[in-house]
Structure 1
Amino acid sequence: MHNSGLPGSDINKSSPYSAVAMSEQLVIQYLKHCRDLTRGFAYRVFPNFWRQWCKQVLEVAEQAKSNKDQIALYETQNLLAAVQQAAEQEFCQHLANGFVKFKNKSLNTLTGEERFSGDILSLVEHSDLEETIAITSITHRADNFFAEQLWALQQRLALLNDGEKIDERANPASPVQFCESLRKLLANLDIDVKTKIIGYKLFDQDVIGMLDGLYDELNDYLIRQNLLPNLRFVPASDKPADHKTDEAMQDDPFERNDGSVDEQQQVEEEQQHQRRASDKLLSGALNPNDIQYQNSLLNAIRLLQTHVTQALPAIQAAHFNPQAVVAGQAANSPVINPNGAVVATPAVPTASPANLQVYTQNQLVSVLEQMQTQAFSVTQQVLANHESGPVPIAPQMVAEVGRKMMEQIASENENGAVEAGDMQTIDLVGMLFEYMLSDDHLPDSVKALLSYLHTPFLKIAFIDKGFFEQPEHPARVLLNSLAEAGVRWVSNDGSDQYDIFTKIKTTVFRLLQEFKNDVRIFAELLIEFNAYTHNVARRQELMERRALEKAQGEEKLREAKIQVNNEVRGRTDNRDMPSAILLLLLQPWSDYLSFVLLRYGDKSDSWKRALQVIDDLLWTLEPKTKQPDKVKQMELQDGLLAALERGFETIGYEQAKGRKLLDAVVSLQRMALLSRKAEPAPAPMRTKLESLAAEKAGHMVAQLQPVLPEEAKIVDSLKMVEFGTWFEFDGGKRLKVAWYNKKTQHYMLVDQQGRKVSLAAGLQLARDMLAGRARIIAGSTKPFFERALENIYHTLNERADTLKTGNTS
């Protein structure tokens, strides 16, 4: 008997991706440990690789044929040696970011070869091509060499991915992730391609070649967490996968996939729903970037449509007998599926089936032309008088489009009817727009505006059969671009940036007004719209980069002040302090320490001397009873006062205030020599001085308050948030995480124009989320149209399951 309550219990050995109940906190805990193991491995092997690379470049330089080449190589070697530590940290950070992307289901690292195919190849820089070939060669060899360990790791990581199968592109510890991390690192260094190729060869040997140790560590850890502990390697050629042809699958999309499995597997499979051949779409057998994936997805959708509508007549009348309509349903109203799209007409037609006149696709396009004109008129009336900014407009509901279409056909011909195949097209476009209206990514104003494109997109589906089949079809790409621009630059609070809403509105108006039967209008509008948004994107990225650089500078200063405050408080807490000394240490000397720390670092002699001044000063204020201590103090005093004075001058501290503090120091030291204890600062004054210093150092008030368990859980999960994640705050304002400082736990939030809005503490964000004042807008790297098709597939799959269960019962 299986214990399904354990994280990795083998609930179904024939399906290692069976959904397993696992808390979000547990998933994050496992991923963070795997990330730390991966980063630890990188820190162990990277320095040796980099040193070997420097050594190799030096050897090549010594054998150079010309002085020019030799000098260039020496400069390269010096550069590599100088940036080794920074390179190591950046490399490990890229690897760590891969685990964040994996958690957000956005990790899909390509080797690069996919970009260099077809006609694009002639446009690729030779250096890029050489680097891509090197990476591809390394990853292919490594994937084969570590096949068994990688396979096992990916089965176990799938359990941390909601049971969805992953491949090397989505595996944050796969060889391609290491190569991609190096590629990103080298992109920021001025190194010629020949030197890079030397580096990749050594990288293959000294880093990639050592990965078996890491994979053993990762698999052992996940096994200890009881994630598929009894997993056995199944080579690809031995898997009981689908061996049927596509034609066979189309004949019976719900046929059982028995394959050649052992008796135990057969018994377990009997307990599951019958598998569909189209399920391989979700198993990872096809990559979402492949055109084959798109075509297979569309074929599966059409097969499912046929299945769920098989009980309906092949020809469906558009004109109904109102008396035959089910009680409570309006006359002339078609049946609407769960997504709101038209799928059938249940009422009895007034004419016999033999007299029904089926509308051709040209006639349907003509009907849609009239509806398109009406849609243009509606949007004009509501939006034309608003020159800029999002304005409220009621969305065009999917059911309304279907109803109007049937009414229009019935008004033209009382015996008018629509074939089942054309009804499926109407249904499919309807589900596309129903998904759009439910998409959290899109602001409501953009959803409503784009909903009026339902009619022209239904027209293009009838006119151009390639609309659904071709991922690069101009109409599809235009819809993707409009949706992406809406997400990126329009908020739900009624604001937009760079006049994007007006540009989207103009594009929608032109499409409604100008699209007749010539599909070239989509390409024209796409070129025009993308040219505008590309310029906007460049401006935004520039502004965001400047804001980021400024914020990083501010955060560096904040980190320094926090470190300084901690150093000073570590020496002053729990001991009596005179008011003047407390003021000196918490204000001018803290400022001087921050200056030294930023300029010279905490490993420098200057920093150590500045801290020693505090220790010496505090010692000289203690009452002295022994003659040797008095002698030592007399020797220290002059140098100590001189050091304090130099520090005040360095930061430009006001001379009068500085002299007053130094006089107080001399007076207190004199008291110490007389074995007298100075009067401590009053408690209220001390508390005020320490609070002001802590606030100035950047300790947020929220951080000083007790943290509740649910707050801590969200703070922890926020550490996995990827740069580029959008938050929506009260009132609909959208802000993006542009950067996160793990030392201060501050998130830099920018608006849709790229301007910095705030540096928010993680705890404050967590509290806003718990209070409902903020929410994360779930992100996706996939284009809108692809997300919509996948959603339609899942919806139809669920309907097929429901239909099957109903028939069985």
Structure 2
Amino acid sequence: MQKEGKVVPLAAAIDRGARTPLPCLPVLLLQVRDKAALQLRQALQVLFDNADDTLFEMADKAYERCDQNLYFEAMRDLRLKRKSIERGFLDTFYDTFARIGQLDPLARLGDSGVRNKAQLERAAAVEGMVARVLSRDGFALQQLSLRLQALLDRPLHEQHNPLGPAALCGYFLDAGYNLGVGLRVKLILLKLFERYVLRDADLIYGEANQLLAAAGVLPELQPAPRRRAEDRGMSARRGPASLGQAVGADAAGQALFASLQTLLAPARGQFAPRLQAATSAQPVSTADLLRLLTHLQHYVPASHEADDFELGQHLEQLLLRVSVRSGTRRRIAVADEDMINLVGLLFAYIQNDDNLPLSLRALIARLHIPLLKVALLDKGLFSRASHPARRLLNEIAGAAIGWECGGEGLRDNLHLRVERTVQRLLNEFAEDASLFAELLDDFLAFNQDERRRNELLEQRTRDAEEGRARALQARQQVQQVLNQRLRGRVLPQVVVQMLVQAWSQVLLLAWLKQGEASQAWRDALDTLDTLLASISPPHEPQALLLQVPGLLKSLRDGLASVALDSQATREFFQQLEQLHLRACAGNALLPVSDDQSLAEVLVAEDIVLAIAEEPACAPLHFADGQAVALRQVQRMRIGTWVEVFDEDEPLRCKLVARIDSSDRLVFANRTGMKVREWNGASLAQALHRGEVRALDDGLLFERALEVVLDGLRQGQAL
């Protein structure tokens, strides 16, 4: 009989927070649960990574703006609620496991109440997903149910299995119950759940069965056939051609490196071990050095521990071991040492380059050994800008320059892709050029999708800001028109209110839609002037009677175009009728009205329309000493990255729009969301004070090589 226990993994305890203690379960069952939870967590992360891309593609293809907004809102909701959905999924999973055999995990899917159309469609989608998993992996699930029944020593129906496909769907539906998206988006998410979670259900069932069988739970059951084993085993790899054979000897690279060796002579011993000082030591061949580096490559620590890894010290230890085993003191050849020093200087620059986010520098630092091996095998790395290893480094640095140095957004899609790329190089790269080319192709394809999505979001931000600037310009024009005609005059309060609150919208609409030179704009101004003239006593009744029908029609059409409330429109025309009568008869001949809105008021102050957002930055007076910063602002191109230090964590953003009409520069983060705006003078002042700094987003390898060579030349000149 299995030992009983209350073992709860630390990660699970953190995820679930303060929860009701689990009942006693066999330790072996807890191991099955925790292994499955880890696999499900990873699958959910892949699901949400791809959900963002899928919804973006659907928004990109949507013809209707309302559909686009639906998908973009869904993307935003998923980003905000992703963690809570993952946590809710695992919470329900743990709860169901805690009550295994006592609780039907399918009960939530089988409610017998009246269902609406959305519930019926969702239920039909789930039934289809479950049927496909059972037809594919039903044998392995049946074996798992039998083993769990034997382990628990009580009956366990398949529908009570907490790892069944319908149960997994139920956890997902429960976790996303309050997501707030429409049925179409929910069905899309269910399809993604099938593709990225249920697709690998056979792995969950297979590992659980293997764990239970190894512990002696029904080991006599025949294992289920492994599904898609050949597909998983057949990755598109190229033949094991060496890097040198793949690209050939690069004469230009050899010549460049030979010219650099004189400059590198003073740096000898800086990165490579100092054992070569012994004249009797024999140099190890480049092939042997590559094997030593490949050995070290598998021990490169994680990014947060990279500072503790000194390549020179580890190489020295390995050379000592080789010397002891061979009985002969060994050293590194001079040419290889120069290459080690050159690559070491490049990576020293990269690790101190504050144009790169700190997390990116830590990741690139892990590529020191793979890039060194490439350089030892192919000097063309330094002479060919198209070299796959060089391009991969540049592409990663260029794509990730917008990473923020902290915060929860760190491990996003791009960060995970760069991590996987780095880890694959550390795990698999020996001397095969095709791996760099393959990873470059994969990263370029991935980054193209990322860039296209971000560019679309940036364009939406740009359009919104240009629309805002145009609305602000229209507002200023309408304010000027109203102030010219109203300020300083004594007018009925009802007319002033209507002109400021309603007719200003008519003027704005005409200016925005058709422009200042349009007939609609001139007609709206004529109606305004006619209205003011019609209420000014004394007035000839006959002339007024001729004017009123056309005036009333123009007013009605204009107010209807801005959807003014019908009750408010009716009341205004009733009051306007009283004003016209008063204009014809003269104030003294009409009885005093109790209607306060007919009272006259003096328009003493400028009219300010509260219909557009003010610029976030008021114009600043240009201060002395900021000329250089102002020229820098004027030279900034669209796409320039800056780093802002006005909060606890630095913020990286890039220039996405210049609004010349209002002198505004709009900056967005890497995802295209607007985060800052300045006018030219205020940005120059921020640059001058060090509150903002422009980032150099040039090619990383070229920038590093240029700085290193300049430093070597200056060192030789001293």
Q: TM-score range by the shorter chain?
A: 0.5 to 0.7
Counterpart in the other structure of 2:498: 584
For residues 710 and 352 of structure 1, do their structure 2 counterparts lie closer, same or farther at Cα, with a shift above 3 Å needed? closer
Matched, 1:530 2:441: no
Matched, 1:647 2:572: no
Question: SS at 2:366's partner residue?
Answer: helix
Matched, 1:431 2:345: yes
Q: In the alignment, is the contact (CA less than 8 A) between 2:254 and 2:379 conserved in 1?
A: no
TM superposition shift of 1:296: 7.9
Paired residues for 1:315-714 under 5 Å? 334=269, 336=270, 342=271, 353-375=278-300, 378-379=301-302, 393-396=304-307, 400-413=310-323, 415-488=329-402, 492-496=406-410, 499-549=413-463, 551-573=465-487, 575=489, 578-620=492-534, 636=547, 639-665=550-576, 667=578, 674=586, 679-681=600-602, 690-691=607-608, 693=609, 695-700=610-615, 702-703=617-618, 707=621, 709=623
Q: Deviations over 1:163-212 (max 9, x none)?
A: xxxxxxxxxxxxxxxxxxxxxxxxxxxxxxxxxxxxxxxxxxxxxxxxxx
TM superposition shift of 1:648: 0.9
Partners of 2:379 and 2:710 lie apart in 1 by: 23
Matched, 1:754 2:672: yes
Partners of 1:352 and 1:610 lie apart in 2 by: 91
Counterpart in the other structure of 1:786: 702
Partners of 2:575 and 2:439 lie apart in 1 by: 76
For residues 798 and 526 of structure 1, do their structure 2 counterparts lie closer, same or farther at Cα, with a shift above 3 Å needed? same
Percent identity between the two aligned chains: 27
Partners of 1:352 and 1:744 lie apart in 2 by: 67
Partners of 1:354 and 1:599 lie apart in 2 by: 85
TM superposition shift of 1:580: 3.1
Question: SS at 2:643's partner residue?
Answer: strand
Question: SS at 1:374's partner residue?
Answer: coil
TM superposition shift of 1:454: 0.5
Matched, 1:795 2:711: yes
Partners of 2:631 and 2:493 lie apart in 1 by: 40
TM superposition shift of 1:607: 1.0
For residues 471 and 706 of structure 1, do their structure 2 counterparts lie closer, same or farther at Cα, with a shift above 3 Å needed? closer
Partners of 1:712 and 1:651 lie apart in 2 by: 46
Paired residues for 1:767-782 under 5 Å? 774-780=692-698
Q: In the alignment, is the contact (CA less than 8 A) between 1:735 and 1:752 conserved in 2?
A: yes
| One-letter amino acid of the structure 2 residue matched with residue 537 of structure 1 | R
For residues 702 and 472 of structure 1, do their structure 2 counterparts lie closer, same or farther at Cα, with a shift above 3 Å needed? closer
| One-letter amino acid of the structure 1 residue matched with residue 712 of structure 2 | L
Partners of 1:352 and 1:707 lie apart in 2 by: 64
Q: In the alignment, is the contact (CA less than 8 A) between 1:498 and 1:536 conserved in 2?
A: no
For residues 611 and 651 of structure 1, do their structure 2 counterparts lie closer, same or farther at Cα, with a shift above 3 Å needed? same
Partners of 2:625 and 2:534 lie apart in 1 by: 46
Question: SS at 2:661's partner residue?
Answer: coil
TM superposition shift of 1:647: 1.1
Partners of 2:479 and 2:612 lie apart in 1 by: 7
Once the two structures are overlaid, the 10-residue window that deviates more, 524-533 or 590-599, is 524-533
TM superposition shift of 1:445: 0.6
Question: SS at 1:358's partner residue?
Answer: strand
Matched, 1:732 2:650: yes
Partners of 1:578 and 1:296 lie apart in 2 by: 86
Question: SS at 1:739's partner residue?
Answer: strand
Q: In the alignment, is the contact (CA less than 8 A) between 1:489 and 1:753 conserved in 2?
A: no
Question: SS at 2:351's partner residue?
Answer: helix
Counterpart in the other structure of 1:190: none
Pick one of 639, 662, 669 that aligns with 1:744: 662
Q: In the alignment, is the contact (CA less than 8 A) between 2:642 and 2:693 conserved in 1?
A: yes
Q: Deviations over 1:713-736 (max 9, x none)?
A: 667754542221223344233333
TM superposition shift of 1:478: 1.8
Q: In the alignment, is the contact (CA less than 8 A) between 1:358 and 1:419 conserved in 2?
A: yes
TM superposition shift of 1:425: 0.8
Counterpart in the other structure of 2:259: 303
Q: In the alignment, is the contact (CA less than 8 A) between 2:510 and 2:520 conserved in 1?
A: yes
TM superposition shift of 1:588: 0.7
Question: SS at 1:754's partner residue?
Answer: coil
Q: In the alignment, is the contact (CA less than 8 A) between 2:292 and 2:318 conserved in 1?
A: yes
| One-letter amino acid of the structure 2 residue matched with residue 741 of structure 1 | I
What is the root-mean-square deviation of aligned Cα atoms in Å?
4.0
Q: In the alignment, is the contact (CA less than 8 A) between 1:497 and 1:752 conserved in 2?
A: no
TM superposition shift of 1:451: 0.2
TM superposition shift of 1:790: 1.9
TM superposition shift of 1:789: 1.9
TM superposition shift of 1:577: 5.5
Question: SS at 2:654's partner residue?
Answer: strand
For residues 521 and 711 of structure 1, do their structure 2 counterparts lie closer, same or farther at Cα, with a shift above 3 Å needed? same
For residues 498 and 428 of structure 1, do their structure 2 counterparts lie closer, same or farther at Cα, with a shift above 3 Å needed? same
Q: In the alignment, is the contact (CA less than 8 A) between 1:441 and 1:779 conserved in 2?
A: yes
For residues 775 and 475 of structure 1, do their structure 2 counterparts lie closer, same or farther at Cα, with a shift above 3 Å needed? same
Partners of 1:772 and 1:666 lie apart in 2 by: 63
Question: SS at 2:432's partner residue?
Answer: coil
Once the two structures are overlaid, the 10-residue window that deviates more, 726-735 or 459-468, is 726-735
For residues 425 and 557 of structure 1, do their structure 2 counterparts lie closer, same or farther at Cα, with a shift above 3 Å needed? same
Partners of 1:593 and 1:295 lie apart in 2 by: 72
Question: SS at 2:670's partner residue?
Answer: coil
Q: So what's the TM-score if we normalise by structure 2?
A: 0.54
Q: In the alignment, is the contact (CA less than 8 A) between 2:256 and 2:383 conserved in 1?
A: no
Question: SS at 1:478's partner residue?
Answer: helix
Q: Deviations over 1:270-304 (max 9, x none)?
A: xxxxxxxxxxxxxxxxxxxxxxxx99899667535
| One-letter amino acid of the structure 1 residue matched with residue 560 of structure 2 | E
Question: SS at 2:639's partner residue?
Answer: coil
TM superposition shift of 1:501: 1.0
Question: SS at 2:702's partner residue?
Answer: helix
| One-letter amino acid of the structure 1 residue matched with residue 638 of structure 2 | F
For residues 578 and 434 of structure 1, do their structure 2 counterparts lie closer, same or farther at Cα, with a shift above 3 Å needed? farther
TM superposition shift of 1:778: 3.1
| One-letter amino acid of the structure 2 residue matched with residue 732 of structure 1 | P
For residues 353 and 446 of structure 1, do their structure 2 counterparts lie closer, same or farther at Cα, with a shift above 3 Å needed? closer
Partners of 2:487 and 2:306 lie apart in 1 by: 63
| One-letter amino acid of the structure 1 residue matched with residue 351 of structure 2 | L
Counterpart in the other structure of 1:287: none
For residues 512 and 352 of structure 1, do their structure 2 counterparts lie closer, same or farther at Cα, with a shift above 3 Å needed? closer
Partners of 2:277 and 2:626 lie apart in 1 by: 68
For residues 301 and 577 of structure 1, do their structure 2 counterparts lie closer, same or farther at Cα, with a shift above 3 Å needed? farther
